[in-house]
Amino acid sequence: MPLFLLMLCISTDFSTEVEKPVRPQVVEIAVTTLGLSDIVQTIGGEHVKVIPLVPGAVDPHKVTPRASMLLKLSRADALASMGLGYEHAYLPALLEKVGRKDFGRGDGDVSQGGVNHFVASDFIGVALEIPVKLDRGTGVDVHPLGNSHWNTNPDLMRKVAVGLRDFLCLQQPQFKEDFFKNWEAWDKKAGELIAHWTKWLAPAKAQSIVTYHRSWSYFAQSFGLVLRGEVEPKPGMPPTTRHLIALSRTMTEHKVKVILMEPWYSEGKLGNLPSMTGAKVVKVASVSGNSGYLDWMHTVVSSVAGALDIPEPMSGKF
């Protein structure tokens, strides 16, 4: 048995809750992505200590629950997650094992968090692409609550930041003034950058792109791009020759110039698609890494703009 599974099965009871009538001066918050970690730390400042559960920009479908994650969850004062099943590969099992009522349970829909579990997707409005039916024929990486990659739309992250600010105020009301001040500074910067990115990608509005996985729908919606298909015939399934040929015809018809894909997918799976269509392959993660959310989003925008030969506007330059 793998070590992490063995440790998950140990008899230690993490479900015992210790009442904390007064929060500590520094609240420890376990966070599932580095993008959320960055914003929690920025708004929380010196009053929070962020504990990343997944240290890196990785494929969320491939993350496995580990004993180290379980230990972090058991010790944390609060938890912040993406929601919409983004963490389906590991968080439900961890929540079920840790058994903390204030974090919610892991069976089924993990977006129903407890009092100390901030679920970011609760603040984005209606999710995109909610499936009308669920079965294995629709793919192995289908999210029943809708597309969970909302973080690729920076306007939605601004809404989530407001929710995080208020969540931190509930955690430590004595520092409310600091949280509002930190949020206001971040939001101002985010707003200015979004205006700059929107101006930058304005010439690409209504242009068509293709992605490897259906993880860029919110990005396309945010900047007015049109998705013409995915390299995967169904979510989580490798492309077939037949599918790639059909996709190449669609790309040629709609003059698709960009194939957007994450670095954890093999470019070899594209076959002759780039050469058949003349499209440029843009490899960028659909979740931010250590550079921070706004820096990552700038990289995404600049990468797409570069592939489309759109120069950066001088005004508001990052």
For the chain, what are the domain ranges? 3-191, 203-307
The Cα 304–Cα 282 span in angstroms is 7
HEC profile for the chain? CCHHHHHHCCCCCCCCCCCCCCCCCCEEEEECCHHHHHHHHHHHHHHEEEEECCCCCCCHHHCCCCHHHHHHHHHCCEEEECCCCCCCCCHHHHHHHHCCHHHCCCCCCCCCCCCCEEEHHHHCCCCCCCCCCCCHHHCCCCCCCCCCCHHHCHHHHHHHHHHHHHHHHHHCHHHHHHHHHHHHHHHHHHHHHHHHHHHHCHHHCCCEEEECCCCCHHHHHHHCCEEEEECCCCCCCCCCHHHHHHHHHHHHHCCCCEEEECCCCCHHHHCCHHHHHCCEEEECCCCCCCCCHHHHHHHHHHHHHHHCCCCCCCCCCC
What's the rounded Cα separation, in Å, for the pair 57 and 199? Answer: 27
Whether the pLDDT of residue 213 is over 60: the answer is yes
pLDDT tens-place string over residues 97-125: 999 999 987 655 445 678 999 999 999 99
Q: Is the pLDDT confidence value at 225 over 60? A: yes
Tens-digit pLDDT profile for residues 245-302: 999 999 999 999 999 999 999 999 999 999 999 999 999 999 999 999 999 999 999 9
- Exposure string for 9-22, b = 16+ CB within 10 A, e = fewer: eeeeebeeeeeeee
Say if CB 91 and CB 110 are below 8 A apart. Answer: yes
Residue 137 tokens read as 């024929």
The tokens for 185 are 């500074």
Q: What pLDDT is attached to residue 146?
A: 92
2-34 per-position pLDDT tens digit? 444 444 444 344 444 444 445 678 999 999 999
Q: What is the CATH number of domain 3-191?
A: 3.40.50.1980
Asked if residue 271 lies in contact with residue 247, where contact means CB atoms within 8 angstroms, the answer is: no
How far, in Å, CA of 265 to CA of 41, rounded? 30
CATH topology of domain 203-307: Rossmann fold (3.40.50)
Position 6 scores a pLDDT of 45
Identical topology for domains 3-191 and 203-307 = yes
Q: Which of 180, 192, 159, 156 is nearest to 42 (CA)?
A: 180
Q: What is the pLDDT of residues 43-81, one digit of tens each?
A: 999 999 999 999 889 999 999 999 999 999 999 999 999
Ramachandran sector of residue 108 (left: φ over 0; alpha: ψ -120 to 50; beta: rest): left
Q: Pick from 278, 268, 149: which is nearest to 210 by CA?
A: 278
